[in-house]
Chain A
Amino acid sequence: MRKFGRLTVGAASAAVVALTLTACGGGSGGGDDAASDGPITWMSLLHTPTTPDADGPIQTALEEYTGTEFEMRWVPAASVEEKLNAALASGSLADIVNMYPIDSTTVRQALTSGQFWDVEEYLDDFPNLSQIDPQTLESARIDGELYGVPLQKIKARYGVVVRQDWLDNLGLEVPHTIEDLAAVAHAFTHDDPDGNGKNDTTGFIDREESFRVGFRSLTGYFGAGSQFEVTDDGQVVPAFTTDAFKEAMEWYRGVYEDGAVNQEFVTLQKSNQQDAIAQGKGGIVVTGLFEAKNYMALAQNANPETPMEWALVNDITYGDVPRRILTDTTGGMGGWLAFPKSEVKDEAELKNVLGFVDKLIDEEAYGLMTNGIEGTHYELDGDGVVTVTDQAAWEQQVQPYAASRPSEKVVTYNSSTPYVNEANEKMVENEDYVVTNPAQSLTSETFNRQWSTIEQQVNDAYNQYITGQIEMADYEAVIESLRGQGLDQIIEEYTAAYAAANG
């Protein structure tokens, strides 16, 4: 009898399994069908803490202007890599997918897997898409193929921002060389620049991503390349193996040991970094020049009387190295807008979606996604100066869309917000000195497979070196040990690809 019972339960459970399996299959099939009929879906990056309402004013206005219904699926920028990996793995994509970051192995593998449309031949049919900067297009190609529309950006937006009011308090000049920068950092740390009588300030406020972001930009002044560089004998090598990079590391460690970098930067997240800057814990940030206005806004939020003033420096030089700046936008592009064949089923649908993207580059759509709606979010005066009138509403309703603009350089608006015009001018100046990554449009199998692992280990070694856990010899030993794990092969493959491309 008991045996009988056991059998029945067995059969019942098998039936349950079968039922669940069919239910799952049916469910996902239904989802696909719905996607092709409904509005255009768009997986895009979110750089703000909250998402805008789907029926908010900007989305409504954009739908009206483009004549296309669309639905945003926001992916928080901080976790984009894992979210994108999960979406690619489960096949739950959208009609338009922001593929970012551009050096991510998964992103590149997915793009070249043949599952996304090659858009090259269609671009000329559209008024705006046919105007994309050729250098940016070149950066966006992978082995000559264009698997998405590049999100166009200014090629180098970075610089160093320094607290002008602190410089004035201490009677110092704005630094334009690495030596002066170190001197200012020292003074900011030890000479009580905010005059509160306490030893509570540092020079640099850096964060967790130092190796990939802030410090990386500094290495450019020392002569290091952007990710990769071509040596005199035609080898394509990673920047972190070069002497210039190591020289920058030695310099930065000296600054760190002096106490002039926040001591626990390896645990500091971006938002905490911004808070620390707004609270006046440090006076030097290596960052996008456009950030000065954000720091200002944050500080004024906390204290409307804040004495904060910023100097925006874009011309730091070191020794006899000529003025240069590393691209922070991978050669003027911030990822691809890619169109998976599983969602965008045929050419007609692709042209429809491309038409939508093209319209977003029109001045009117650009204005909506940049400033918002006149009268609600901003006002325009006779000189064409844009003043954001409702900062809170702008942050909530407009700012999230700004990072989804297919081009960030359609119009440069005059602004009454302090530091905006200055930052815009200095970023344009930067364009003449940009250093880009020579390996970006090349392909190396080993790079795709191993780079994230290698970069992670070098990143760790860098952090350990700066904080004094290991010495330069140990850092070099880490790099040597990585040579066997694919680093040498990457150099070899890129060198061959580079030679083939540049004859």
Chain B
Amino acid sequence: MSAATTAPPTVSATSAITERPQGRRRPQRPSFWRHRTLYLMALPGIAYFLVFKYAPMGGLVIAFQDYLPFLGIGGSPWVGFDHFVRFFTEDTFLLLLRNTITISLLLLVFAFPVPIILALLLNEVRTRAFKRSVQTVIYLPHFMSWVIVVSIFYVLLSTDGGAVNNIIVEAGGSPVPFLTDPDWLRPMYVFQEIWKGAGWGTIVYLAAMTAVDVQLYEAAELDGAGRMRQTWHITLPAIRPTIIVMFILAIGDFLELGFEHMFLVMNSLNRQVGDIFDTYVYTAGIQNGQLSYAAAVGFFKGLVGLVLVIMANRLAKRFGEEGVY
């Protein structure tokens, strides 16, 4: 299956590196046996992907059935592409597509650059202790679950005694219905994503920055380059491959916003801008029990994600970058 074709490249790539120097000496032994310990080490990882990622994909066939739990996959009637046709012709499809794309774009534009900027700023901090403590403080929110994050914001933003609205009222304004006004949902969503994820995101970029040769900075300084110029001409180009890899990964998640966050901030009053594919799969499949239909929606979402990753990767390669595979 696809399992067999996707799993090996990583393994053979590693073996290819170690293979060469020894390979010349004893070419007659099969490489698999010689690198058996490496394969053994890879085994848990491979097994994990097969069991938890590939095997469950078999369940996708219910998207082409009228799946009834009691009849099982074997006994449920096949309906071909009926569920897909229903999905694409329903009014909700355009609504979901619009909401999902809008929020994804907002995230790409506003949330994606934040960790890069933060990392650049942190990179310029010379006091080690200060840098360390800031780093720790900003990545702590990553370890909070969405339930906690949304609850904190709920307490802060409620109009019935929320701190933020209390301040607004004290200052003479009228309370802002952050939680129920459809216009506030997207800004609030993006802000929460940044608050929770930005600090964690900086780690990757900071790691990439440590790899930059210090001599480059010294040379630039001799040539009279200031802080800004050094950042622009040395740091940024050095982390460009990392940025591009992260960008491709972000593109792959374009329709995959994650169910939990949106589900928690959504209510009757902002549903028309908040309902996305992930929440729709939940309401249609789990709440209303239309398992096949929800599977079809999820299938579509996954396919779009795959296509987007491939496209982004091609594009990156065309511009002479490494890409993710």
Contact = CB atoms under 8 A, between A and B. Distances in A.
A110 B68 CA distance: 9
A460 interface: yes
Interface in A76-94: 81-82, 85-86, 88-91
B51 A2 contact: no
A267 B287 contact: no
Interface stretch (A10-18, A39-47, A172-180, A226-234): A10-18
Interface in B1-19: 1, 3-4, 7-8, 11-12, 15-16
Given A9-B39, A10-B8, A264 B159 contact: yes
Interface in B263-290: 267-269, 271, 283, 286-289
B177 interface: yes
B15 A13 contact: no
Nearest to A461: B268
A191 to B, nearest CB: 19
Contacts of B267: 208, 266-267, 463
B208 to A, nearest CB: 31
Interface residues of B, number: 42
A86 to B, nearest CB: 7
A4 B32 contact: yes
Interface stretch (A66-74, A242-250, A451-459): A451-459
Contact of B268 (A1, A5, A463): A463
Given A264-B179, A460-B271, A467-B180, A16 B50 contact: yes
B21 interface: no
Q: For chain B, what secondary structure do more than half of its interface residues adopt (helix, strand, loop), or is it mixed?
A: helix
A396 interface: no
A464 B271 CA distance: 10
Contact of A5 (B32, B51, B180): B32
A9 B46 CA distance: 10
Contacts of A105: 288-289
B158 interface: yes
Given A5-B15, A5-B31, A8-B32, A467 B286 contact: no
A166 B55 CA distance: 63
A109 interface: yes
Nearest to A87: B69
B70 interface: yes
Q: For chain A, what secondary structure do more than half of its interface residues adopt (helix, strand, loop), or is it mixed?
A: helix
Interface in B228-278: 267-269, 271
B30 interface: yes
B4 A10 contact: yes
B233 to A, nearest CB: 41
A9 B4 CA distance: 7
A86 B179 CA distance: 30
Contacts of A12: 43
A459 B32 CA distance: 62
A88 B290 CA distance: 12
A453 B91 CA distance: 13
B291 to A, nearest CB: 6
Contacts of A106: 288-289
B74 to A, nearest CB: 13
B223 interface: no
Interface residues of A, number: 47
B180 A20 contact: no
Contacts of A9: 4, 7-8, 11, 32, 39, 46
B47 interface: yes
Interface in B139-178: 154, 158-160, 177
B269 A467 contact: yes
B269 A90 contact: no
Given A88-B69, A267-B154, A459 B268 contact: yes
A21 B16 CA distance: 32
A435 B43 CA distance: 65
Nearest to B27: A1
Contacts of B54: 17
A90 B69 contact: yes
B154 to A, nearest CB: 7
Contacts of B43: 12
Contacts of B16: 2
A227 to B, nearest CB: 18
Given A2-B12, A113-B70, A264-B158, A452 B46 contact: no
A469 interface: yes
A13 B3 contact: yes
Nearest to A463: B268
B30 A264 contact: no
Interface in A442-485: 452-453, 456, 459-460, 462-464, 467, 469
A264 B180 contact: yes
A9 B35 CA distance: 12
A452 B50 contact: no
A97 to B, nearest CB: 13
B289 A16 contact: no
4 closest cross-chain pairs (CB), A and B: A106-B289, A10-B4, A463-B268, A460-B268
Interface of A: 1-2, 4-6, 8-10, 12-14, 16-17, 20-21, 81-82, 85-86, 88-91, 105-106, 109-110, 113, 115, 208, 262-264, 266-267, 276, 281, 452-453, 456, 459-460, 462-464, 467, 469
11 contacts: A16-B47, A16-B50, A21-B55, A82-B286, A88-B69, A105-B289, A106-B289, A263-B177, A264-B160, A463-B267, A464-B269
Given A91-B69, A281-B160, A467-B180, 11 more contacts: A1-B31, A2-B12, A2-B31, A5-B12, A5-B32, A6-B8, A13-B50, A264-B180, A267-B158, A460-B271, A464-B268
Interface of B: 1, 3-4, 7-8, 11-12, 15-16, 23, 30-32, 35, 39, 43, 46-47, 50-51, 54-55, 68-70, 154, 158-160, 177, 179-180, 267-269, 271, 283, 286-289, 291
